[in-house]
Structure 1
Amino acid sequence: MNILTFDIEEWFHILDNKSTKTEVDWGQYESRIHKNMDRIFKILEDNDVDATFFCLGWVAKKYPEVIKKIDELGYEIGTHSNLHQLAYEMTQKEYEEDLKQSIYELEDIIGKKIISYRAPGFSIKKDNLWAFESLHKFGIKNDCSIFPTNRAHGGISNFAISEPCILVHNGVSLKEFPINTTNILGKKTIFSGGGYFRLFPYSLIKSKSKQSQYIMTYFHPRDFDKNQPLIDDLSIFRKFKSYYGLNNCEKKLRNWLNDFNFIDLKQADGLIDWSKANIIEIS
């Protein structure tokens, strides 16, 4: 089961960086969302494949036509938060206000219930597991926020499995679709989205895909935008992570979609026999 998803945000929505943190900061950068979304739509059309789009409430409010087009083309829409902030930097009250606003903005445009979510930067970790209670409170049924290894902005390295499961926390349960992992040089590693996908050669991605029964992807519009401006105050390491591999990422994705079958999250949910799924209690 290979699931195709995109996190819909602007090219400058880079986490944990001073000049790209707030709405005020974002005003200094040009918008590239429309051309980048058109590129994604063309990739999907050419390959006749469905995808789930995790969208910011901020994008919905500022560019409602983008959300309308995603919906009109028949793609599933979930939320990626409202203001693209790290979940573990918020109080639970702040997190819930952000989540509620994002759901409102999206539902107001498409007239459909939002039931799927992915945290910015996969920023749910051991310190803020209360986020799962909040997701349940606001009607989220499918979560894609678990990153089952270490990462700069979160990650739960001891999460038991990297396949769809029932996640239980403090008496609430969600269907969890974690990021898939693989073993590279003895280390648990990701290959199916973002900077990891841009970094690895396609030959390795293809090989690891053949070995994987479950793949959860995560791409951003900026991953395919080789002409995006440089954000000057990023460290050398962050510049490498943010800009490496932009030139051939679209080609690699097109090859991947040609070589393997992908479905959206809604289709995957319907194909899984949840009565037989692993139940993972996390506390």
Structure 2
Amino acid sequence: MNILTFDIEEWFHLLDNASTKSENQWQNFEVRIHQNMERVFEILEATDAKASFFVLGWIAEKYPEVVREISNKGYEIGSHTTFHQLVYEQSRETFQTDVERSIKTLEDISGKKVRMFRAPGFSITESNKWAFEVLHDLGIEIDSSVFPAGRAHGGLPSYGVAEPSILNYNGVQLKEFPINTYKILNKPMIFSGGGYFRFFPYKLVKKWTQNSDYIMSYFHPRDFDPDQPILDGLPAHRKFKSYVGLKKADQKLKRWINDFDFIDIKTANSQIDWETVKTIQL
């Protein structure tokens, strides 16, 4: 099962970067979301692929036409929060207010129920698993925030599985679509989205996909924008990960989609027998 998803945010929505952290700073950067969304739509139309979209409420509020176009093209929309902040840096109340606002905005524009969520930077960790209770209370049924390996933004390695499963926390249950991993030298590696996908040679991506029963991809409009400005102040490793492989990323993704069958979360949800999948107790 290979699933195609996009996180819809602007090119400057990088986490852990002082110059792009707050909404007040975002107004200082040029708008590139429209041209980058056209690249995304072109990829999907060229490959006749379905995908799910996790959209920032901030994008929806400023550019509702983006949400309308996603919805009118028949793609399912989920929340990516309103202000793209790391969840573990927020209080429970702040997180709930933010997500609730994003859901209302997206539903008002699209006229459709929002039932999916993905945290910025997959930033639900051991310290803030209460976020799953908040999501459940807000009507979210499907989550894709679990990064079942260690990473810069924490991750949730204790989750233990990288496959569709039932997440159970304090009696609250969600259908979880975690990011997939691939073991190299017994260490879980990520290759199916963002800078990871752009960095690894396609030969390896293809091999690892062939050897995987489950793929959860995650891309951003900026992943296909080789002309985006380079943000000041990024450490060398962040700069490399943020800008490596941009020139050929669109062709690489088209090749991947053509070589393998991809579906959206809605289709995957309907194909899974949820009575038989693993239940993960957190």
Letter of the structure 2 residue corresponding to residue 7 of structure 1: D
- Aligned equivalents of 2:188, 2:50: Cα separation in 1: 28
What aligned pairs does 1:187-206 form with structure 2 within 5 A after superposition? 187-206=187-206
What aligned pairs does 1:47-196 form with structure 2 within 5 A after superposition? 47-196=47-196
Q: Which stretch of the first structure deviates more once superposed, 179-188 or 155-164?
A: 179-188
Give how far 1:245 is off: 1.0
Alignment partner, residue 222 of structure 1: 222
Deviations 1:220-249 (A, max 9, x none): 000000000010111111111111111111
- Aligned equivalents of 2:185, 2:270: Cα separation in 1: 35
Secondary structure (helix, strand or coil) at the match of 1:208 reads: helix
Output the TM-score relative to the length of structure 1: 0.99
- Aligned equivalents of 2:184, 2:33: Cα separation in 1: 34
Secondary structure (helix, strand or coil) at the match of 1:254 reads: helix
- Does the alignment pair 1:237 with 2:256? no
- Aligned equivalents of 2:13, 2:158: Cα separation in 1: 28
Give how far 1:184 is off: 2.1
- Aligned equivalents of 1:169, 1:88: Cα separation in 2: 17
Aligned residues: 282
Alignment partner, residue 271 of structure 2: 271
- Aligned equivalents of 2:155, 2:90: Cα separation in 1: 16
Give how far 1:158 is off: 2.1
Secondary structure (helix, strand or coil) at the match of 1:7 reads: strand
Deviations 1:69-92 (A, max 9, x none): 000000010010000000000000
- Does the alignment pair 1:280 with 2:280? yes
- Does the alignment pair 1:6 with 2:19? no
Secondary structure (helix, strand or coil) at the match of 2:167 reads: strand
Runs of 4+ in 1 over 2 A off after TM superposition: none
Secondary structure (helix, strand or coil) at the match of 1:66 reads: helix
Alignment partner, residue 209 of structure 1: 209
**RMSD of aligned alpha carbons:** 0.6
- Aligned equivalents of 1:205, 1:186: Cα separation in 2: 18
- Aligned equivalents of 2:173, 2:44: Cα separation in 1: 32
Alignment partner, residue 33 of structure 1: 33
Secondary structure (helix, strand or coil) at the match of 1:131 reads: helix
- Aligned equivalents of 2:201, 2:238: Cα separation in 1: 20
- Aligned equivalents of 2:166, 2:27: Cα separation in 1: 40
Secondary structure (helix, strand or coil) at the match of 1:275 reads: coil
Letter of the structure 2 residue corresponding to residue 248 of structure 1: K
- Aligned equivalents of 1:241, 1:250: Cα separation in 2: 16
Secondary structure (helix, strand or coil) at the match of 1:158 reads: helix
Give how far 1:186 is off: 3.3
Letter of the structure 2 residue corresponding to residue 52 of structure 1: S
- Aligned equivalents of 1:239, 1:19: Cα separation in 2: 14
- Aligned equivalents of 1:99, 1:24: Cα separation in 2: 19
Give how far 1:154 is off: 2.2
Letter of the structure 1 residue corresponding to residue 60 of structure 2: A
